[in-house]
Structure 1
Amino acid sequence: MGMGKTPGSDDGSEDGVFAEINITPLTDIFLVLLIIFMVTSSVIVQQGPGGGAKAGLKVNLPKGGAADVTARTTDLSVAVLADGRFMLAGNVVSQDELQQAFDDARQKDEETVVIVQADEGVPHGTVVQVMELAKKAGLAQLAIGVREGE
């Protein structure tokens, strides 16, 4: 059987050309690529630009006035979860890692704003602890993330 010939025609005639293409594997590949694209795009949307204030963290912020701080890409957004854990750019970090991130941010840009997004149930002392870590690193511009009230 020669390539490009109709199966079963071994006589060498050029009468039938085998022109079928099996597109099932091609369709499977496209579906896998579509799923990968959908998953990665949703992760990118949740993280936001530079892990800023809209980093997709599920924190129950207290209500407050209208937001008057606009997050820049150089700003650090620290979330304090209800159980007291710290999150930076979507990752749970220890107090030492948070201090190191503040030091690194100070070296890159002294005007970095630290936005603290604390859950409503977090004790006041934990928020103050994060703010003291930022001030110790030399970051004097601090903001508290709230959700807009009525």
Structure 2
Amino acid sequence: MGMGKTPGSSDDEGADAGFAEINITPLVDVMLVLLIIFMVTSSVITQQGPGGGAKAGLKVNLPKGGAADVTARTTDMSVAVLADGRFVLAGNVVAEEELKQAFDAAKSQNPDTVVIVQADEGVSHGTVVQVMEMAKKAGLAQLAIGVRDGT
């Protein structure tokens, strides 16, 4: 009985006997599919569709508040004001004129649209009031301010 041979086998059969290799191709296929799924879902989370929403994946340092948070509906319009004063609507930086046009379009689609203003802590009060005044001039009277949970 030699090394590496199975018991009871002849010498020429032992040369063909060996360890079976592990096939990793199915494992790699599954891992690539999972990677693609994670990449697609993460891009969907950060770039939400038209209308945005209160949780549109923006990095805005909201001030703390004690009241209950406003729950966004699909008809609501979320406007973020970044620390440098730029306006973000549905994940895209927009100019003041484009924001006015978006308010007018929202008014024509649904007059009961709620405008949620999410302003960074460092934004001046005047900039927040400016956004709210643009919404009111467009005819959107329901306004809300987005804040972090105070706890």
Range into which the TM-score falls when normalised by the shorter chain: 0.7 to 0.9
Q: Residue 95 of structure 1: CA displacement?
A: 0.4
Deviation at 1:48, TM superposition (A): 5.1
Q: Deviation string for 1:18-71 (max 9, x for gaps)?
A: xxxxx96x8877655443321110122234575200001000000112325211
Percent sequence identity over aligned pairs: 71
CA distance in 2, matches of 1:33, 1:51: 28
The answer for the alignment partner of 2:45 in structure 1 is 45
Task: Mark the runs of 5 or more structure 1 residues left unpaired by the alignment.
Answer: 1-22
Question: What letter is aligned with 2:148?
Answer: R
Distance (whole Å) between structure 2 residues aligned to residue 119 and residue 92 of structure 1: 15
Q: Say which SS state the counterpart of residue 130 (structure 1) adopts.
A: helix
| RMSD value, Cα | 2.2
How far apart are the structure 1 equivalents of 2:72 and 2:92? 19
Deviation by residue 1:69-128 (Cα, 9 ceiling, x = unmatched):
211001000000000000011110000111111111101100000000000000111101
The unaligned stretches of length 5 or more in structure 2 are 1-23
Report the counterpart of residue 139 of structure 1 in structure 2. Answer: 140
Supply the distance in 2 between the matched residues of 1:33 and 1:102 (Cα, whole angstroms): 41
Find the aligned partners of 1:98 and 1:29 in 2 and give their Cα distance: 45
Structure 1 residues 58, 68: closer, same or farther in 2, change over 3 A? closer
Name the larger-Rg structure: 2
TM-score by structure 2 length? 0.75
